[in-house]
Chains A and B, each alone.
Chain A
Amino acid sequence: MKILVCISHVPDTTAKITFTPDNKEFVSSGVTFIINPYDEIALARAIELAEPAKGSVTALHVGDASTEPTLRKALAIGATDAVRINAQPRDGYYTAKQIAQYASQHSFDMILCGRESSDHNGSSVPAMVAEFLDIPSVMFAKKLTLEGNSAVMEREIEGGKEVISSSLPFVAGVGEGMAEPKIPNMRGIMSARTKPLAVVEPVDVPQLSKTLRYEKPEARSSVKMIAAEEAAGLFNLLREEKKVI
């Protein structure tokens, strides 16, 4: 059982988000970076699946050298080895192409990614990797078990769920519920220092899109307080003042 887990390096969920004065770039100084929360779930499930099968879990990340602590954390949590593709990711297409290129040279049984990254809120990488490799993809997977030579997954759909069976290999975009994120223990942290972390140079990818700028959402006007005794009148206000019901 060989599993590839794709890791995004994202600002901590409580981080204050600021941009350069021209709004073209995110200001990363002073910001703590973490493993993308969904990727942590994917990593936890990969470790659960690989351990009893004496398999391996490779954590892969596309980023520059400054992101290595994030990959070391994945090793501390329990990944067997790590790979950093030495490039500044441009967009989902670029990242997916780098992952697919690496995966095509190492026969993985499955590739797990978080279903979305919490920085660019992109959800394209899992399906793009699968399309480059011409293998199945399942997005919003919230359960994953192995049954012989196939995987059974549950994916989220509007107002319900769908149970899907897939041949191996496949790519899953992992959502909440598949596993509990694992916290590294002291032994994990110690061994992470000596586990292999390979650096691979990127392949050329045509540029299909580019980020122009960022913008902060408009602040809401100040809150209008309604006295507790008047609570029942809320819906008339919502109709008269906001026309939302």
Chain B
Amino acid sequence: MSVIVFAENVQGKFKKSTFEAVSYAKAIAVKLNLPLTAVSIGQVADAELSGLGKYGADKVLNCKNEKLNNFNVQPYASVIAQAAKAEGAKVVVMGASFSGKGVAPRVAVKLSAGLGENLVDLPRMDGSFEVKKGAYSGKAFEYIEILADVKVLSVMPNSYKVVENPAAAAISSFDAQLTDKDFALTVKETVRASDKISLPDAELVVSAGRGMKGPENWGMIEELASLLGAATACSKPVSDAGWRPHSEHVGQTGIAISPNLYIAIGISGAIQHLAGVSSSKVIVVVNKDPEAPFFKSADYGILGDAFEIVPRLIEGAKAFKASHN
């Protein structure tokens, strides 16, 4: 028996969200007194694979197959499910990344497992197996008991801290049985902005709304974000108006995020927006309207026009960087 974790890579490298998933899986493995096996799919160098040991992987199954260098939901689900069976997995963990959210349900069906998706905390495992996830778009949490013998869990980015817990990380190669049917999808093109910080994974987010008046004024938002090493985001009216891409829209019908710091500039804080950002650890709101509802949900508020305040924040960020480097 074991706990397994799918160690997702991006172009051969593991990201922080993968280390979070490994740390989360290790905490479960320790509690259940089981070894932790990481499963890597695609082309990843041995040195990178060994790095999973730092966060507690006892074993690493390396499924190297040139047809699997790009994420592809069906063969990836097959590999993870076959690895789970080979290892006698009681719990299968992965990050709730865009790919992880797509593959976890397929793995659960293959294993007739109970699925706990988009989890925000460790499960409670005293007799029953209880997981916690967000519900009603950030307006509530839902506690779910997983009744099935095998559990498949996906953990939200930025919900569980990376914890070092060194283990052997013994690497062995793993061959899965794949059929033509597994390859009904073909990845034609992957476009990745290499200089951009991915929004769901970002620890710091600078977000702006209609208070910016138009897309031509986003330069200062981008400057502030880049000084802080933050991702940029926006409110729904902004992406609906085409000022910014939909991929930057955070809120009830956009992406839900939980960064350490969320700075909202010129966003009034409608309930649908709060739904997507309320699990941010610290919220700073900049708005010229003292009645903006967002102030009620903020930790820090600055009353003032964005065009006056943002330049001051940029100065502040520069000074802060200079004194802390």
Tell me the bound Cα distance from A116 to B247 in angstroms. 15
- A231 touching B301, Cβ below 8 Å: no
Q: Which residues of A contact B197 (CB under 8 A)?
A: 159
- A-chain residues with CB within 8 Å of residue B118 when the two chains form the complex: 121-123
Q: How large is the interface on B (under 10, 10 to 19, 20 to 34, 35 or more residues)?
A: 35 or more
B185 near A: Cβ within 8 Å? yes
Nearest CB of chain A from residue B249's CB, rounded to whole Å: 7
In the complex, which of the residues A38, A96, A119, A223 contacts B295, with contact meaning CB atoms closer than 8 Å?
A: A223
Residues on B with beta carbons closer than 8 Å to the beta carbon of A123: 101, 105, 117-118
A210 contacts B143, CB within 8 Å?
A: no
A48 at the interface (CB under 8 A from B): no
Which residues from A are CB-within-8-Å of B99? Answer: 157
Given A14-B271, A177-B246, A228-B303, check contact A160 B192 (CB 8 Å). Answer: yes
> Would you call B239 an interface residue if the criterion is a C-beta within 8 Å of the partner chain's C-beta atoms?
yes
A214 touches B303 (CB 8 A): no
By DSSP majority rule, is chain A's interface helix, strand, loop, or mixed?
Answer: mixed
CB distance from B322 to the nearest CB of A (A): 11
Among A19, A140, A165, A217, contact of B185 (Cβ-Cβ < 8 Å): A165
**Does B185 contact A122, Cβ atoms closer than 8 Å?**
no
Among B104, B143, B298, the residue within 8 A (CB) of A220 is B298
- B190 partner, pick from A134, A157, A223, A227, beta carbons under 8 A: A157
CB neighbours of B279 from chain A (8 A): 217
Q: Are B189 and A162 in contact (CB under 8 A)?
A: yes
Specify which chain A residues have a CB less than 8 angstroms from the CB of B133 in the assembled complex. 121
User: Smallest CB-CB separation from A212: which chain B residue?
Assistant: B143
Q: How large is the interface on A (under 10, 10 to 19, 20 to 34, 35 or more residues)?
A: 35 or more
Q: Which segment of B19-27, B84-92, B214-222, B281-289 sits at the interface?
A: B281-289
Q: Of B137, B188, B198, which contacts A118 at CB under 8 A?
A: B137
Are B102's CB and A139's CB within 8 A?
yes
In this assembly, does B45 line the interface, its C-beta being within 8 Å of a C-beta of chain A? no
User: Is A68 among interface residues, defined by CB-CB distance under 8 A?
Assistant: no
A214 contacts B247, CB within 8 Å?
A: no
A198 at the interface (CB under 8 A from B): no
Among the stretches A51-59, A102-110, A237-245, the one at the interface with B is A237-245
A69 to B147: give the CA distance in the assembly, Å.
Answer: 33
Contact, CB under 8 Å: A162 / B145:
no
Q: When the two chains form their complex, are residues B141 and A217 in contact, meaning their CB atoms are under 8 A apart?
A: yes
Assess whether B115 is in contact with A124, with CB atoms less than 8 Å apart. Answer: yes
Chain A residues close to B by CB (< 8 Å) = 11, 13-14, 17, 19, 26, 37-38, 91-93, 96, 118-128, 130-132, 134-140, 142, 152, 155-167, 170, 173, 175-177, 206-217, 220-221, 223-228, 231-239, 242, 244-245
